[in-house]
């Protein structure tokens, strides 16, 4: 039990006590509370909760490492995971809010008046959220495994136990305020070490202004070593893959069921627009910091760690080598560690850097608490998406419409527990690095839901047959491409597994349009409901005319 362990535990324990306290305080008592917090959350707070929900283990633990390893090519994650909010806020969120349904499957089921479409959307939501949650649990394993110096598998199981407890009892209202708290903790934890590193390296505490020069210096160091410059474009991947990944992350962001459900908690279309704007502002606090994190980490590794003799390496190196994610091998046998002899996994850069930069036990402890906040807040939102798809859309709407409120809540809680445990088992041996697993979920959301949601909201002629064809073809193409590219080295235009949605989405879009046009138009009532989404709440489209509700004040 060293000092570091005790400090980290204290930070984690205090933050967990806070989340569980909030969840218990707000314990959901009704179904409407459980799913959408009674639609009364103000935009700024809702924006913060969206940000806490959104920023996952991939953002917190994985992203800066990915940017550091991939250089310019890693910026696809930075732009993709922020730019998607524009598609969401401009094209989908306000309209879905006016339609007023709890979940994505419910919107699709009611908009197309088809139980088949509802079932496909519910299963799609469950698959996408499930893949995403594997990444979160795998991130929890990285943090807890290093902390306790135990096997990652046991650490993952501890994370599973905690998340099951509070997601099961809290519901969405608990989670809304818990996620606000988690956002605040994770953003402080992320920015503090970067500010210290900026001070250490440049003497100026504002990393966003100073790291540009460090990026340029890294380029010079790379030139001296005769390797490609840090910021040189398309060195690690190629341009087609960059653009494909960018598209998938953006369209996936706009169509992820657990993010969309957040916009049902606002009161109006106007509040949905403001929530989107606030959310991206809070998200960018972390996303603007990640490239600085990457640049400083790489600079410290290149100038302070590389060049040391092997028998005088700092103590932290051994504990990370033990986790199997850091390798230092004296390839040329000169007894000195060279930059090219360091091989570091994307997933440990963020967690290891405060130790590398020697920032002290408090910063390292804070990082551990922040990383868990990121992983658990997203896992909480994902579990709600899975349980509402199952308990609400499949069980209540399809299997047993007479189910009592208690029974539905029970089914929701059981499905949360089952989903967490199964995802935990898969996460014991994760099928890729965190950002990669999460990128698959985005590709699937982009390929399965984005085209159907977009056309469903804006195109009156879009019908159930079209939506079913679109979702099935998009899902099939995206998943096959991921599997073919990941396990059978199949590739078109140099695009790898993470960019699979670039093929799924256009096929899904075309299938939806062609099948819709080839079959009968939807009923007059459904078409009018879609026309109605063009106008604010006070205007109603009915019988081919627009009606305005007069102010009754």
Q: Is 298 in the site for another protein (CB under 8 A)?
A: no
Angstrom distance (rounded) from CA 340 to CA 320: 18
Secondary structure of residue 88 in the 3-state scheme: helix
Residues 31-70, interacting with another protein (CB under 8 A): 31-32, 39
Q: Is 100 in the site for another protein (CB under 8 A)?
A: yes
Angstrom distance (rounded) from CA 423 to CA 326: 26
Residues 244-283, interacting with another protein (CB under 8 A): 246-247, 250, 267-270, 273-274, 276-277, 280-281
Q: Is 547 in the site for another protein (CB under 8 A)?
A: yes
Backbone angles phi, psi at 244, to 5 degrees: -65, -45
Beta strands at 342-344 and 326-328: parallel, antiparallel or unpaired = antiparallel
Of 3 and 551, CB closest to another protein: 551
Angstrom distance (rounded) from CA 438 to CA 435: 5
DSSP class of 265: G
- How many residues bind another protein (CB under 8 A)? The answer is 72
- The token duo for 16 is 């967990």
Helical axes 434-448 vs 75-87, angle rounded to 10°: 30
Residues 306-335, interacting with another protein (CB under 8 A): none
Residues 395-414, interacting with another protein (CB under 8 A): 396
Of 166 and 396, CB closest to another protein: 396
Candidates 170-178, 236-244, 478-486, 507-515; binding stretch for another protein (CB under 8 A): 236-244
Candidates 1-9, 48-56, 446-454, 538-546; binding stretch for another protein (CB under 8 A): 538-546
Candidates 128-136, 160-168, 226-234, 444-452; binding stretch for another protein (CB under 8 A): 226-234
Residues 419-448, interacting with another protein (CB under 8 A): none
Q: Is 548 in the site for another protein (CB under 8 A)?
A: yes
Plot region of 448 (φ>0 → left; ψ -120 to 50 → alpha; else → beta): alpha
Q: Is 231 in the site for another protein (CB under 8 A)?
A: yes
CB 507 → another protein: shortest distance, Å?
A: 20
Q: Is 493 in the site for another protein (CB under 8 A)?
A: no
CB 69 → another protein: shortest distance, Å?
A: 15
- The token duo for 93 is 């969120």
Residue with tokens 């990121």: 374
Report in angstroms the alpha-carbon separations of 146 from 105, 341, 378, 470, 491. Answer: 39, 22, 21, 44, 36
Angstrom distance (rounded) from CA 244 to CA 224: 33
Residues 153-192, interacting with another protein (CB under 8 A): none
CB 97 → another protein: shortest distance, Å?
A: 8
Q: Is 394 in the site for another protein (CB under 8 A)?
A: no
Of 73 and 355, CB closest to another protein: 73
CB-count exposure of residue 538 (10 Å: 0-12, 13-18, 19+): exposed
Secondary structure of residue 353 in the 3-state scheme: helix
Which of residues 149, 151, 213, 322 is near another protein by CB under 8 A?
Answer: 213
Which of residues 19, 34, 54, 85 is near another protein by CB under 8 A?
Answer: 85
């Amino acid at each position: 039990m060293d000092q570091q362990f005790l400090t980290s535990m204290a930070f984690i324990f205090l933050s967990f006590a806070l989340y569980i306290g909030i969840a218990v305080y707000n314990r959901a008592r009704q179904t409407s509370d459980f799913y959408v917090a009674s639609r009364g959350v103000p935009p700024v707070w809702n924006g913060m909760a969206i940000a806490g929900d959104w920023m996952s283990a991939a953002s917190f633990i994985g992203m800066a490492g990915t940017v550091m390893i991939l250089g310019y090519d890693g910026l696809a994650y930075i732009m993709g995971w922020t730019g998607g909010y524009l598609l969401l806020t401009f094209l989908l969120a306000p309209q879905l809010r006016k339609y007023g349904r709890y979940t994505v499957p419910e919107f699709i089921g009611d908009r197309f008046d088809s139980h088949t479409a509802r079932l496909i959307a519910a299963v799609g939501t469950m698959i996408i959220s499930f893949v995403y949650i594997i990444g979160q649990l795998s991130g929890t394993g990285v943090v807890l495994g290093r902390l306790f110096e135990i096997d990652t598998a046991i650490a993952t199981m501890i994370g599973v136990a905690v998340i099951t407890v509070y997601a099961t009892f809290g519901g969405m209202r608990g989670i809304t305020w818990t996620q606000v708290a988690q956002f605040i903790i994770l953003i402080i934890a992320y920015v503090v070490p970067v500010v210290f590193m900026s001070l250490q390296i440049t003497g100026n505490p504002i990393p966003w202004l100073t790291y540009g020069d460090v990026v340029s210096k890294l380029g010079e160091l790379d030139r001296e070593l005769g390797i490609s410059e840090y910021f040189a474009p398309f060195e690690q991947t190629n341009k087609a893959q960059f653009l494909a990944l960018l598209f998938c992350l953006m369209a996936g962001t706009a169509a992820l069921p657990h993010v969309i459900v957040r916009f049902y908690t606002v009161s109006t279309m106007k509040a949905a627009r403001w929530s989107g704007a606030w959310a991206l502002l809070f998200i960018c606090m972390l996303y603007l910091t990640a490239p600085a994190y990457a640049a400083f980490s790489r600079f410290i590794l290149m100038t302070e760690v590389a060049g040391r003799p092997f028998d005088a390496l700092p103590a932290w190196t051994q504990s990370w080598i033990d986790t199997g994610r850091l390798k230092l091998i004296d390839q040329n046998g000169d007894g000195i560690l060279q930059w090219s002899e360091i091989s570091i996994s994307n997933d440990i850069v963020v967690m290891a850097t405060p130790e590398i930069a020697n920032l002290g036990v408090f910063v390292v402890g804070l990082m551990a608490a922040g990383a868990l906040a990121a992983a658990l807040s997203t896992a909480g939102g994902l579990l709600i998406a899975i349980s509402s798809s199952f308990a609400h859309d499949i069980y209540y709407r399809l299997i047993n419409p007479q189910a009592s409120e208690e029974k539905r809540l029970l089914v929701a809680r059981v499905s949360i527990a089952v989903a967490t445990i199964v995802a935990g088992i898969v996460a014991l041996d994760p099928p890729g690095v965190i950002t990669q697993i999460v990128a698959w979920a985005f590709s699937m959301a982009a390929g399965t839901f984005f085209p159907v949601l977009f056309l469903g909201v804006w195109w009156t002629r879009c019908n159930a047959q079209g939506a079913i064809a679109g979702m099935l073809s998009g899902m099939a193409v995206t998943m096959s491409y991921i599997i073919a590219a990941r396990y059978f080295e199949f590739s078109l235009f140099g695009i790898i597994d993470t960019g699979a949605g670039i093929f799924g989405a256009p096929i899904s879009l075309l299938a939806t349009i062609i099948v819709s046009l080839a079959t009968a138009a939807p009923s007059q009532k459904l078409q009018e409901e879609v026309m109605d989404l063009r106008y604010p709440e006070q205007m109603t489209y009915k019988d081919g005319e627009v009606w305005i509700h007069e102010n009754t004040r």
